């Protein structure tokens, strides 16, 4: 290919590898630089020595509406390895586990008849309404208060928004909530072997097409010299025809100081986000004995110490996936979203495990620490963008003001929530821009 471009990609997550898939198929030379020892980014997993499958560090699943991800898997010849079992998802309300997806149990929600009607009609409207743009003009808080009412909103959705966004819960726009409801399906998908198996397959496929993946290779600087973008790696500067960064907003501005002094840099710097923590437990006993996979826990206050539960989501992975894939372990996620300066990022692993597991007897009084065979803690300071009112006007373009330098991060998939499907879509979109 005579017009082949020499392209560098920072980050071997789904966005970077999806871009590399299209770019290498078009005949371009692609080198991916990844600071970690494995590919995958926030979607990556790990595997205990007794497990046949890997487990995600942060709970993940796909939806049957994830057409971009499914199309890419088909192109790679691995669509048949994606399965969609149907799990049970529930709310914890008034000390009871209530099934939350569409089912006859919805008739028995602890609400008055009028509140049940408003709850159902509002949910149906959000699911069926075809446009997101008008919804970003209002907050989810004001929308639900207006249409669903205090009784249903206060019992079900406000506690979840508080748990996820803390003090920012009443500032998140309704378009973001619309996108979460609109795209969800009752069946949830996973790759046979776990997400890491899919990510490793992506890496293998793009390598077979000519891409080079450099692990344990952090980039030190993005610059622009002699009319070309450059990267500094291990003290050496290399020039490329195109550079794609898939980093967080904060890291982008640190790597590319030239951007920090531009209007684009101001846009990037004004983006808000929160972090995530997951305590994962391998236990000898089943905690959620009713078969619930995902239990939404209410938050009474943005202050975690004032809420009944110190985390937002309790996910029993092996109530969805066969525990035979994990050496017979029952696997539990205790997951939460918090600001990057929250104490959960300062506590030791043992302290965080103790804090979270102390709440489990509330769910199942039989639980005790002897159930735990092993525990892991994973933390990410950049895990969830915060979309304010009219957020669409604040999203930076994929092409930066530095010629040949592009940025694609989960802060730009709005109004959709961060996830591998939208990472694939954005990766392929930015690849098309870079190849022009």
For 358-374, the pLDDT digits (tens) are: 999 999 999 999 999 99
Structure-token pair, residue 358: 């102390």
| pLDDT for position 417 | 85
- Helix orientation angle between 140-147 and 113-128, rounded to the nearest 10 degrees: 130
> Which secondary-structure segment (H or E) carries 118?
helix 113-128
Q: Which residues contact 286 (CB under 8 A, 6 or more apart)?
A: 316, 318, 319, 330
Supply the mean pLDDT for the chain. 94
Question: Alpha-carbon dihedral of residues 224, 230, 232, 238, nearest 10 degrees?
Answer: -140
Q: Please state the three-class secondary structure of 8-22 as a single string.
A: EEECCCHHHHHHHHH
Which residue intervals of 5-75 are DSSP H helices?
Answer: 14-25, 67-75
pLDDT tens profile 377-389: 999 999 999 999 9
Q: Summarize the confidence of residues 278-303 as an average pLDDT.
A: 95
Q: Quick check: 31 and 207 in contact, CB under 8 A? A: no
- 83 falls in which pLDDT band (50, 70, 90)? very high
Q: Summarize the confidence of residues 125-149 as an average pLDDT.
A: 96
**pLDDT for residue 273 is more than 90:** yes
- 280 falls in which pLDDT band (50, 70, 90)? very high
Q: Summarize the confidence of residues 26-45 as an average pLDDT.
A: 97
Q: Quick check: 311 and 356 in contact, CB under 8 A? A: yes
**pLDDT for residue 107 is more than 70:** no
pLDDT tens profile 14-25: 999 999 999 999
| Gyration radius of the chain's alpha carbons | 22
| pLDDT for position 305 | 85
Q: Summarize the confidence of residues 63-75 as an average pLDDT.
A: 97
Burial tier of 273 (Cβ tally within 10 Å: 0-12, 13-18, 19+): buried
Structure-token pair, residue 309: 């539960």
DSSP-assigned letters across all residues of 204-269: HHHHHTT-EEETT----EEEEETTEEEEEETTEEEE-SEEEE-S-HHHHHHH-HHHHTSHHHHHHH
**pLDDT for residue 313 is more than 90:** yes
Q: Summarize the confidence of residues 29-53 as an average pLDDT.
A: 97
Burial tier of 163 (Cβ tally within 10 Å: 0-12, 13-18, 19+): buried
**pLDDT for residue 102 is more than 90:** no
| pLDDT for position 347 | 97
Question: Which percentage of the chain shows pLDDT scores above 70?
Answer: 98
Structure-token pair, residue 337: 């979203």
| pLDDT for position 110 | 86
| pLDDT for position 340 | 93
Q: Does residue 35 sit in helix, strand or coil?
A: coil
- 296 falls in which pLDDT band (50, 70, 90)? very high
Q: Summarize the confidence of residues 158-182 as an average pLDDT.
A: 93
| pLDDT for position 99 | 82
**pLDDT for residue 108 is more than 70:** no
**pLDDT for residue 106 is more than 60:** no
Range from 91-100, 195-204, 253-262 carrying the lowest mean pLDDT: 91-100
Q: Does residue 131 sit in helix, strand or coil?
A: coil
DSSP-assigned letters across all residues of 142-189: HHHHHHT-HHHIIIIIHHHHHHHHGGGGGGSBHHHHHHHHHH--SSEE
Structure-token pair, residue 17: 């590898």
Residue ranges of domains in the chain, CATH in brackets: 6-74+192-271+390-435 (3.50.50.60), 106-183 (no CATH), 273-385 (3.90.660.20)
Structure-token pair, residue 331: 């696997």
């Amino acid at each position: 290919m005579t017009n082949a471009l020499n392209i560098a990609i920072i980050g071997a997550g789904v966005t970077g590898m999806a871009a590399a898939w299209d770019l290498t198929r078009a005949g371009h030379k692609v080198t991916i630089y990844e600071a970690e020892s494995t590919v995958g980014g926030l979607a990556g997993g790990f595997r205990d020595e007794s497990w046949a499958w890997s487990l995600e560090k942060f709970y993940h699943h796909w939806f049957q509406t994830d057409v971009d991800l499914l199309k890419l898997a088909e192109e790679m010849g691995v669509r048949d390895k994606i399965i969609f079992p149907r799990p049970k998802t529930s709310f914890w309300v008034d000390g009871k586990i209530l099934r939350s997806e569409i089912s006859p149990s919805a008739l028995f929600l602890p609400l008055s008849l009028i509140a049940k009607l408003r709850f159902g009609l509002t949910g149906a409207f959000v699911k069926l309404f075809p446009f997101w743009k008008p919804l970003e003009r209002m907050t989810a808080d004001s929308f639900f208060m207006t249409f669903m009412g205090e009784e249903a909103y206060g019992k079900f959705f406000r506690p979840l928004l508080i748990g996820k966004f803390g003090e920012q819960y009443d500032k998140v726009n309704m378009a973001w909530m619309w996108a979460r409801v609109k795209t969800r399906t009752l069946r949830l998908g996973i790759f046979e072997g776990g997400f890491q198996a899919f990510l490793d397959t992506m890496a293998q496929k793009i390598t077979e097409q000519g891409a080079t993946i450099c692990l344990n290779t952090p980039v030190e600087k993005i610059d622009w010299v002699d009319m070309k973008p450059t990267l500094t790696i291990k003290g050496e500067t290399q020039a490329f025809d195109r550079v794609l960064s898939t980093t967080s907003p904060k890291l982008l501005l640190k790597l590319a100081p030239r951007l920090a002094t531009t209007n684009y840099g101001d846009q990037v710097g004004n983006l808000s986000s929160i972090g995530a923590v997951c305590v994962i437990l391998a236990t000898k006993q089943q905690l959620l004995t009713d078969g619930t996979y995902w239990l939404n826990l209410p938050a009474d206050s943005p202050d975690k110490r004032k809420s009944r539960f110190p985390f937002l989501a309790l996910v029993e992975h092996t109530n969805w996936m066969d525990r035979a894939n994990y050496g017979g372990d029952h696997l539990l996620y205790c997951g939460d979203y918090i600001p990057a300066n929250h104490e959960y990022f300062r506590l030791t692993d043992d302290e965080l495990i103790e804090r979270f597991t102390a709440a489990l007897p509330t769910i199942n009084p039989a639980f005790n620490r002897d159930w735990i065979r092993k525990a892991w803690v994973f933390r990410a300071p950049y895990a969830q963008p915060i979309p304010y009112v009219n957020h669409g006007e604040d999203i930076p373009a994929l092409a930066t003001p530095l010629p040949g330098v592009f940025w694609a991060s989960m802060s730009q998939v709005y109004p959709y929530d961060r996830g591998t499907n939208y990472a694939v879509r954005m990766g392929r979109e930015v690849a098309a821009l870079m190849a022009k």
